[in-house]
Structure 1
């Protein structure tokens, strides 16, 4: 009788372990899917926003170039001034890139590890 009880307990433990492993696998599949979808939708939103901002910046830059050119009576000079502004912004971003990267890394780390 004791042997049958032990055999029954072992089979119950085996079934429980198998159930736990299956549940854990399903959980991690769902977690991975959730993170993947969050990444894909975030990328799509960022890409859409980048396209819209880029188009707006192009039109504003062309308008600024023509306006400055009209004020200075030289369209080429207007576009050179706008181009020079973008070169200065690029230099500024390059110089301060480390101080720009740290907050971004902290934010993305927070988002990633919050989900796990």
Structure 2
């Protein structure tokens, strides 16, 4: 009689363990899907904003180069001055890239992965 009781308890524990494993697997699948979707949508939004900003920057740069070229009487000087401006900006960004670029991106992805 005691063995039957132990056998029933063992079967019950096995069922509960099996249910726990299935529910944990389902939870982590949903969690992974949520994190993947948040990351994907964030990257897509960032890409669209970057594309729009790049178009504005492109046309603004061409306009500025043409305006500078008209002012100095040479389009080459206008385009070289705009190119030099971007070279200076690129050099400055290379010095502060960890604070400006890597830090905020790491912080945002950490927020997505660990705070949910």
Which TM-score applies when normalising by structure 2? 0.90
RMSD of the TM alignment (CA)? 1.4
How far apart in 2 are the matches of 1:30 and 1:104? 24
Cα distance 1:41–1:106, how it changes in 2: closer, same or farther (>3 A)? Answer: closer
Identify which of structures 1 and 2 has the higher relative contact order when contacts are C-alpha pairs closer than 8 Å and 6+ apart.
2
Gaps of 5+ in 2: none
Which TM-score applies when normalising by structure 1? 0.90
Within-5 A mapping of 1:80-95: 80-95=80-95
Runs of 4 or more off by more than 3 Å in structure 1?
A: none
My pick for the range that moved more, 40-49 or 103-112, is 103-112
What do residues 3-57 of structure 1 show as CA deviations (whole Å, max 9, x unaligned)? Answer: 1111111111110000000000000010111111111111111111111111110
Aligned residue pairs, count: 115
Gaps of 5+ in 1: none
